[in-house]
């Protein structure tokens, strides 16, 4: 095969996998194999630069920063849609009535057919394909002229650089570029951990990313795209309806949202509106409404436009998930690990179906960046089941010190401007608001922490709740309220004190009936018999979650061995790196912690010890296995038990992280994948040799 033919074949194949991965969400090959094909293409293109073309998958990244965006005149203007703000069914009826009137339909005429779809909340983009290849992407701008954002759009993997089996002279696809909620949260979490600025909301994320002059920066922000219409079209057989246009675009490999329907008349629209409203919270992206369009393109043409809005379409909004309220106070929450989180206490406000009274400000950096102050009017937002947050401050309404401040009404809003804000910017105190210990923030971290440890009542409460948690010591009935009272009355200082509680002390607590007191004491007694993994997890060592606790228990077999291990020995445990090892060593180096552990053991907390050496010396400790096909002598469960008994893990699918695949007769795609990834493949005999070595 000549270089040109190989390059073309590689591009087709890579684009096919890309589509499967990003659009269909059904990967067809392992990442490593994709990378290999990609590198082969890159090498060929380096060797034969004349073969590089804009639709090559290698061209998605790597553009140079621009000094500015060039203007692009739209061949067909990009319009907007009229918005219906009546969020009742009457909103849909009003639109249908208008359409029927314009079309001259009477009561006896049939229902009008509509295409109903979601109103995406991002940035409108026009994608121009010439002979099937993406040649230009532009923002809407003023509708007549937009900005050339082709470089940035290329970084959006869901947007095809070449249409599938579809190459008309001109096909302009219009749609919305947006950021999904999970992508937004992940991005912000990463930024927060690095102490960098976060995105205010997914829409700003999308807009900011597309309007970024450096495509490398744009590529860092994961974006999605859904098509909702067409621009200029030449040489493409136009279907008769809008829904058929979207079907045809999907056939060409363009992402089209599955949440759409063809609806008959106003009743059909109302049903769609209600159905999407139910799903709104579980959609992975934000919408602020739905869009109704007359389905027949012929009827659309008959209806035409008023100014810049088509008569055949409307956006029907949902009640807002954002609302205005005021900040009554900014309080600090101290968590189990001492992390200090500023929380805005708000005047109660109804948002997206619930009453919100507080919103997280995440950390000092965010609180200062948003510049939230007491007395401010703020926009709060709630999406799905996430914690409500303050989006931004309405600066015009910030209470100012009036130059002629009346002592009777100090919070007068100064309209004259130029005054000074009534309240200072948020600042984290130098000492813990609960225990007055010093507050520390490592330079490279966003989170400030109280250094008081278990001396701090807030950390103590958190530690006790964690200790008693369902996945830790599982003490039923020991919840927030009770822990609060036990700590505030100095009845319980450490987890060990829980096991010294008597009926008298418990029953004397406020609102505590004797019956429930004895139930809790019984639950505490029952918790004494536990497992080593639960006990280690319950200690609340920083960076030691449930999985690490299990690994530690399995590796060392008994608590004394864990406590005695230095960082090197700790790092021999699968998945324990230097940071986790240091946390563990630090915890056990603290005499106070050791003392509490001794008290717990003395109080009768116990667990069966495991056999450390078998696991610690096991050749497969920490290795990941995948079982496939039928083994000659072992059942799948038997093989799994053997692996786990020796500290190995069994996974369901093959990935780069798989160490061994044990394959028997009629092994299927897992075996193929293992071969493709170069994972060691064993038959039953080899497997037995390995585990007995
Ligand atoms: S159709 C002629 N459909 O809303 C109609 N627009 O004000 C052109 N939008 O700028 C737009 N989802 O960015 C249409 N399913 C959808 C949409 C949608 C979101 C945005 C689009 C446009 C604005 C209209």
Q: DSSP for 71-83?
A: EEE-SS-----EE
Is residue 676 within 8 Å of 654, Cβ to Cβ?
Answer: no
Alpha-carbon 523 to chain mean position: 37
Residue 22 in contact with ligand 1 by CB distance below 6 A: no
Is residue 329 within 8 Å of 345, Cβ to Cβ?
Answer: yes
- What gap in Å lies between CA 201 and CA 179, rounded to an integer? 9
The SS3 assignment for 420 reads strand
Residue 122 in contact with ligand 1 by CB distance below 6 A: no
How many angstroms separate the alpha carbon of residue 80 from the centre of ligand 1?
Answer: 6
Is residue 117 within 8 Å of 188, Cβ to Cβ?
Answer: no
The b-or-e profile of 617-654 (16+ CB within 10 A means b, else e) is: ebebbbbbbbbbbebeebeeeebbebbebbbbbbeeeb
Of the CATH numbers 2.60.40.1260, 2.40.50.100, 2.40.50.140, 3.40.50.300, which one belongs to the domain with range 322-412? 2.40.50.140
The residue whose C-alpha atom lies closest to atom 24 belonging to ligand 1 is 80
Residue 140 in contact with ligand 1 by CB distance below 6 A: yes
How many angstroms separate the alpha carbon of residue 118 from the centre of ligand 1?
Answer: 9
- What gap in Å lies between CA 659 and CA 642, rounded to an integer? 16
Is 119 known to be catalytic?
A: yes
Residue 83 in contact with ligand 1 by CB distance below 6 A: no
Structurally, at CATH architecture level, domain 82-317 sits in 2-Layer Sandwich (3.30)
How many angstroms separate the alpha carbon of residue 2 from the centre of ligand 1?
Answer: 45
CA atoms 629, 630, 633, 638: torsion sign: positive
How many angstroms separate the alpha carbon of residue 137 from the centre of ligand 1?
Answer: 16
Q: Name the pTM for this structure.
A: 0.57
The SS3 assignment for 478 reads coil
Residue 206 in contact with ligand 1 by CB distance below 6 A: no
- To 5 degrees, how large is the angle CA 660–CA 666–CA 672? 50
- What gap in Å lies between CA 197 and CA 193, rounded to an integer? 10
**CATH superfamily placement of domain 3-59:** Helix hairpin bin (1.10.287.610)
- What gap in Å lies between CA 521 and CA 512, rounded to an integer? 12
Residue 79 in contact with ligand 1 by CB distance below 6 A: yes
DSSP annotation of 197 reads: P
Choice from 127, 289, 291, 312 to test ligand 1 binding pocket (greatest atom count within 8 A of CB): 291
Domain limits of the chain? 3-59, 82-317, 322-412, 434-612, 618-692
- The pLDDT value recorded for residue 637 is 84
The residue whose C-alpha atom lies closest to atom 11 belonging to ligand 1 is 80
- What gap in Å lies between CA 421 and CA 363, rounded to an integer? 22
- The pLDDT value recorded for residue 416 is 47
Is residue 116 within 8 Å of 269, Cβ to Cβ?
Answer: yes
Residue 313 in contact with ligand 1 by CB distance below 6 A: yes
| Size of the chain, expressed as the number of residues it contains | 693
Residue 391 in contact with ligand 1 by CB distance below 6 A: no
CATH class of 618-692: alpha beta
Q: Helix, strand, coil proportions of the chain in percent (round to 5)? A: 40, 20, 40
Residue 136 in contact with ligand 1 by CB distance below 6 A: no
How many angstroms separate the alpha carbon of residue 200 from the centre of ligand 1?
Answer: 22
The residue whose C-alpha atom lies closest to atom 23 belonging to ligand 1 is 80
Closest CA to 488 of 513, 510, 507, 472: 510
Residue 166 in contact with ligand 1 by CB distance below 6 A: no
The residue whose C-alpha atom lies closest to atom 7 belonging to ligand 1 is 80
Looking at the CA of residue 117, tell me the nearest atom of ligand 1: 15
Residue 125 in contact with ligand 1 by CB distance below 6 A: no
Looking at the CA of residue 309, tell me the nearest atom of ligand 1: 2
CATH of domain 434-612: 1.10.150.20
How many angstroms separate the alpha carbon of residue 440 from the centre of ligand 1?
Answer: 48
The residue whose C-alpha atom lies closest to atom 2 belonging to ligand 1 is 79
Whether 82-317 and 322-412 share one fold: the answer is no
How many angstroms separate the alpha carbon of residue 298 from the centre of ligand 1?
Answer: 20
- To 5 degrees, how large is the angle CA 430–CA 586–CA 500? 90
Residue 146 in contact with ligand 1 by CB distance below 6 A: no
Is residue 197 within 8 Å of 205, Cβ to Cβ?
Answer: no
Is residue 332 within 8 Å of 341, Cβ to Cβ?
Answer: yes
How many angstroms separate the alpha carbon of residue 119 from the centre of ligand 1?
Answer: 7
The residue whose C-alpha atom lies closest to atom 21 belonging to ligand 1 is 124
- The pLDDT value recorded for residue 353 is 67
- The pLDDT value recorded for residue 334 is 94
The H-assigned helical ranges of 163-311 are: 181-193, 202-210, 215-220, 242-251, 265-279, 297-303
Q: Residues 547, 550, 555, 558: what is their CA dihedral angle, to the nearest 10 degrees?
A: 150
* Catalytic residue (one of 64, 119, 500, 640): 119
Closest CA to 127 of 166, 154, 145: 154
How many angstroms separate the alpha carbon of residue 54 from the centre of ligand 1?
Answer: 28
Report strand pairing: 680-682 vs 660-663. parallel
pLDDT averaged per 10 residues in sequence order, the chain, 693 residues:
90 87 78 86 92 86 76 93 90 97 95 97 95 95 92 92 94 96 85 75 86 80 94 96 97 96 97 92 87 98 90 90 92 92 93 84 88 94 73 91 59 56 92 93 86 89 94 92 92 93 85 85 95 95 87 91 92 84 93 93 92 68 87 87 81 89 88 90 92 80
Residue 96 in contact with ligand 1 by CB distance below 6 A: no
What is the residue-wise DSSP string for 384-424? TTSPPEEEEE-GGG--EE-TT--TT-TTPPPSS--SEESSP
């Amino acid at each position: 095969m000549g270089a040109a033919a190989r390059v073309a074949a590689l591009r087709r194949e890579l684009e096919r996998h890309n589509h499967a991965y990003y659009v269909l969400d059904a990967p067809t090959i392992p990442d490593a194999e994709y990378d290999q094909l990609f590198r082969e293409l890159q090498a060929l293109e380096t060797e034969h630069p004349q073969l590089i073309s804009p639709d090559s998958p290698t061209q998605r990244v790597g553009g140079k920063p621009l000094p500015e965006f060039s203007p692009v005149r739209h061949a067909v203007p990009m319009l907007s849609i009229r918005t219906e703000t009546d969020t009742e069914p009457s909103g849909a009826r009003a639109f249908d009535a208008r359409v029927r009137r314009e079309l001259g339909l009477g009561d006896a005429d049939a229902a009008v057919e509509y295409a109903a779809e979601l109103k995406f909340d991002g940035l409108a983009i026009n994608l121009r394909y010439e002979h099937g290849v993406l040649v230009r992407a532009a923002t809407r701008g003023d509708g007549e002229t937009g900005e050339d954002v082709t470089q940035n759009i290329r970084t959006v993997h869901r947007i095809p650089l070449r249409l599938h089996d579809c190459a008309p002279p001109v096909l302009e696809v219009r749609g919305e570029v947006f950021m999904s909620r999970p992508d937004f949260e992940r991005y912000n979490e990463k930024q927060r951990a690095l102490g960098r600025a976060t995105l205010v909301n997914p829409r700003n994320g999308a807009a900011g990313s597309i309007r970024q002059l450096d495509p490398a920066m744009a590529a860092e922000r994961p974006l999605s795209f859904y098509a909702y219409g067409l621009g200029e079209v030449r040489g493409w057989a136009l279907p008769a309806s809008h829904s058929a246009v979207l079907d045809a675009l999907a056939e060409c490999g363009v992402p089209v949202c599955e949440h759409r329907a063809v609806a008959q008349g106003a009743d059909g629209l109302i049903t769609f509106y209600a159905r999407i409203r139910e799903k709104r919270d579980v959609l992975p992206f934000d919408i602020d409404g739905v869009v109704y369009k007359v389905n027949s393109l012929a009827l659309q043409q008959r209806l035409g436009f008023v100014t810049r809005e088509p008569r055949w379409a409307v956006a029907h909004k949902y009640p807002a998930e954002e609302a205005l309220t005021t900040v009554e106070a900014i309080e600090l929450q101290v968590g189990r690990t001492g992390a200090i989180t500023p929380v805005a206490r708000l005047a109660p406000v109804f948002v997206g179906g619930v009453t919100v009274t507080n919103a997280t400000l995440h950390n000092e950096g965010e609180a200062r960046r948003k510049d939230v102050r007491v007395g401010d009017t703020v926009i709060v937002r709630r999406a799905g089941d996430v914690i409500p947050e303050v989006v931004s401050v309405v600066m015009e309404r910030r209470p100012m010190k009036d130059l002629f401040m009346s002592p009777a009404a100090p919070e007068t809003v100064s309209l004259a401007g130029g005054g000074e804000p009534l309240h200072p910017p948020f600042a984290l105190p130098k000492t813990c608001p609960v225990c007055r210990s010093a507050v520390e923030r490592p330079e490279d971290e966003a989170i400030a922490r109280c250094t008081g440890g278990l001396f701090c009542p807030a950390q103590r409460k958190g530690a006790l709740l964690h200790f008693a948690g369902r996945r830790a010591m599982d003490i039923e009935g020991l919840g927030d309220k009770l822990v609060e009272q036990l700590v505030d009355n100095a009845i319980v200082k450490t987890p060990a004190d829980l096991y010294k509680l008597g009926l008298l002390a418990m029953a004397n607590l406020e609102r505590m009936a004797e019956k429930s007191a004895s139930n809790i004491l019984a639950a505490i007694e029952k918790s004494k018999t536990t497992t080593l993994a639960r006990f280690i997890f319950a200690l609340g060592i920083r960076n030691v979650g449930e999985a690490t606790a299990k690994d530690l228990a399995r590796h060392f077999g008994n608590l004394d061995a864990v406590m005695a291990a230095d960082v090197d020995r700790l790092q021999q445990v699968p998945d324990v790196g230097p940071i986790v090892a240091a946390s563990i060593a630090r915890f056990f180096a603290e005499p106070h912690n050791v003392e509490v552990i001794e008290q717990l053991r003395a109080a009768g907390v116990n667990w069966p010890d495991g056999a450390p050496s078998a696991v610690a010396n096991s050749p497969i400790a920490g290795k990941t296995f995948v079982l496939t096909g039928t083994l000659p002598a072992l059942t799948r469960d038997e093989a799994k038990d053997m692996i786990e008994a020796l500290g190995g893990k069994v996974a369901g699918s093959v990935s780069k992280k798989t160490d061994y695949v044990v394959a028997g007769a009629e092994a299927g795609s897992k075996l193929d994948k293992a071969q493709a990834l170069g994972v060691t493949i064993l038959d039953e005999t080899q497997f037995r040799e390995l585990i007995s070595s």
